[in-house]
Amino acid sequence: MQLALFDLDNTLLSGDSDFEWAQFLISKGVLDREVQEAKNVQFYEQYKAGTLDIYEFLAFQLAPLARHERAELDAWHREFMQTRIRPIMGAAARSKVQEHLEAGHLCLLVTATNSFVTGPIAREFGIPHLIATIPAWENGAFTGLSRGIPSFKEGKITRVEEWLESQGLWWGSFSDSWFYSDSHNDLPLLERVSRPVAVDPDDKLRQTALTKGWEIISLRGNAV
């Protein structure tokens, strides 16, 4: 048995779904442009720098979900998929996922972005299992808070291992395990699998991958 784990933002997507969701809501007039756009950019820069406070970010990211009915959110998400996400789902990324699926590997999307945003994206890629940050749900509505351990940095390892255990599996169940990621924030999980792959990596991840002899690829063009 073999395991293939995929990061989403700037890995399978040529962009960041978290960032794009907030920008989409701003474009719809749901969020105030002057205030929210600056915060969105600030959090995105912190993520790239490795200084993001995940709980502060989640309070920002999940708050809009609590202000609207689920049917309205779902309608917005369908438009979001069409206008913001499908254009950044490249052929190479789709092909890489399909390669693992056709080989019969157990495939999971593992992302810090919340499951409301990422669930339809995982389905669009054909990835059957999703590990994402969970937005809390109560009395038929989102609360604006997260539930459980965010799927971020070391939290990705915890969440993957909990999911594997729920399936009666562990790392030793697999002859090979891949994790595809662009970000140094994912170094803990990259170091946990047997075949880490740096995808269009940021500078810190690229340097680590070169030092450790990890595979480096691009899903936006030729190998890098």
Query: What letter would DSSP give residue 35?
Result: H
Over residues 167-196, the pLDDT tens digits come to 999 999 999 999 999 999 999 999 999 999
What average pLDDT does this structure show over 214-219? 97
Out of 9, 16, 18, 200, the active site residue is: 9
Q: Percentage of the chain surpassing pLDDT 70?
A: 98
Active-site residue, 9 included: yes
Active-site residue, 16 included: no
Sheet holding 141-147, edge to edge: 141-147, 129-138, 106-114, 2-6, 176-181, 195-199, 215-217
Domains along the sequence of the chain with CATH? 2-217 (3.40.50.1000)
Q: What is the pLDDT of residue 221?
A: 55
Q: Percentage of the chain surpassing pLDDT 90?
A: 70
> Which residue has better confidence, 118 or 222?
118
> Which residue has better confidence, 30 or 97?
97
How confident is residue 57, by pLDDT bands cut at 50, 70 and 90?
confident
Out of 7, 186, 200, 202, the active site residue is: 7
- What's the CA gap between 196 and 179, in Å, rounded? 5
Over residues 189-209, the pLDDT tens digits come to 999 999 999 999 999 999 999
- What's the CA gap between 191 and 29, in Å, rounded? 42
